[in-house]
Amino acid sequence: MLSQKMENALNDQMNWEIYSAHIYLSMSSDFSRKGLPGIAQWMLAQYQEEMFHAMRFFNYINEAGGHAKLGVIDAPPYEWESPLKAFEVALEHEQGVTSRINALADLAMEERNHAVGIFLQWFISEQVEEEDTVGDIVGKLKMVGDGGGLFMLDRDLGTRVFTPPTTA
Ligand code: FEO
């Protein structure tokens, strides 16, 4: 059972996850054309992960008696000046997502909706991981600069494949 306010807030986050997915897909496109296939692959895997996040909200809203409603998704930027800049933008974006998930958890607490609180637990842990992963890549990109190290890092990042968690 969801209050209208909660249903709206969960829908808002579902659509934000789709927007997040579009940012990463757009980054994938940009780095693919710039000759960095590994970063493009990493971004594509992140796109898939964000769509998985969106689908968790979609399924939960409907299961909880609400109505998952798809909204207008803003166009993401389509070009970034460097891999470092893109990952810095990604880190800032993920920090914003964390704040949004925390605000949702606050609302669940206010409404004493424990079921929503439990649903959000997974996202609270997930955001710690997302920020940590992207923050690590920002650090590595700062270390390697634009030289040959970037191509080695690109190869490394290209090994990423998104596998949906089995417990989801
Ligand atoms: Fe769905 Fe990257 O948070």
Which protein residue has the closest C-alpha to ligand 1 atom 1?
A: 50
The CATH number of residue 122's host domain is 1.20.1260.10
Torsional sign, CA 28, 121, 3, 93: negative
Q: Torsion angle of alpha carbons 19, 14, 131, 161, nearest 10°?
A: -80
Domain tally, the chain: 1
131 inside domain: yes
What pLDDT is attached to residue 50? 98
CB distance 130 to ligand 1 below 6 Å: yes
In whole angstroms, give the CA distance from residue 14 to residue 6: 12
What pLDDT is attached to residue 103? 98
Kindly report the pTM of this predicted structure: 0.95
- Band of the pLDDT at 147, cuts 50, 70, 90? confident
In whole angstroms, give the CA distance from residue 102 to residue 53: 15
163 inside domain: no
User: Taking a C-beta distance cutoff of 8 angstroms, is the pair 9, 104 a contact?
Assistant: yes
3-state secondary structure the chain: CCCHHHHHHHHHHHHHHHHHHHHHHHHHHHHHHCCCHHHHHHHHHHHHHHHHHHHHHHHHHHHCCCCCCCCCCCCCCCCCCCHHHHHHHHHHHHHHHHHHHHHHHHHHHHCCCHHHHHHHHHHHHHHHHHHHHHHHHHHHHHHHCCCHHHHHHHHHHCCCCCCCCCCC
What pLDDT is attached to residue 165? 86
Average pLDDT estimate for 141-145: 94
pLDDT tens-place string over residues 107-127: 999 999 999 999 999 999 999
Domain that holds residue 51: 4-157
* Statement: residue 166 has pLDDT above 90: no
User: Taking a C-beta distance cutoff of 8 angstroms, is the pair 25, 32 a contact?
Assistant: no
* Statement: residue 135 has pLDDT above 70: yes
CB distance 88 to ligand 1 below 6 Å: no
Which ligand 1 atom lies nearest to the CA of residue 50? 1
Average pLDDT estimate for 29-45: 98
Which ligand 1 atom lies nearest to the CA of residue 130? 2
What pLDDT is attached to residue 167? 61
Give residue 40 CA to ligand 1 midpoint distance, Å.
17
Average pLDDT estimate for 10-24: 98
Tokens encoding 164 = 């949906």
* Statement: residue 47 has pLDDT above 80: yes
CB distance 17 to ligand 1 below 6 Å: yes
Give residue 128 CA to ligand 1 midpoint distance, Å.
10
* Statement: residue 168 has pLDDT above 60: no
What pLDDT is attached to residue 98? 98
Which protein residue has the closest C-alpha to ligand 1 atom 2?
A: 94
Give residue 148 CA to ligand 1 midpoint distance, Å.
30
What pLDDT is attached to residue 145? 86
- Band of the pLDDT at 102, cuts 50, 70, 90? very high
125 inside domain: yes
CB distance 97 to ligand 1 below 6 Å: yes
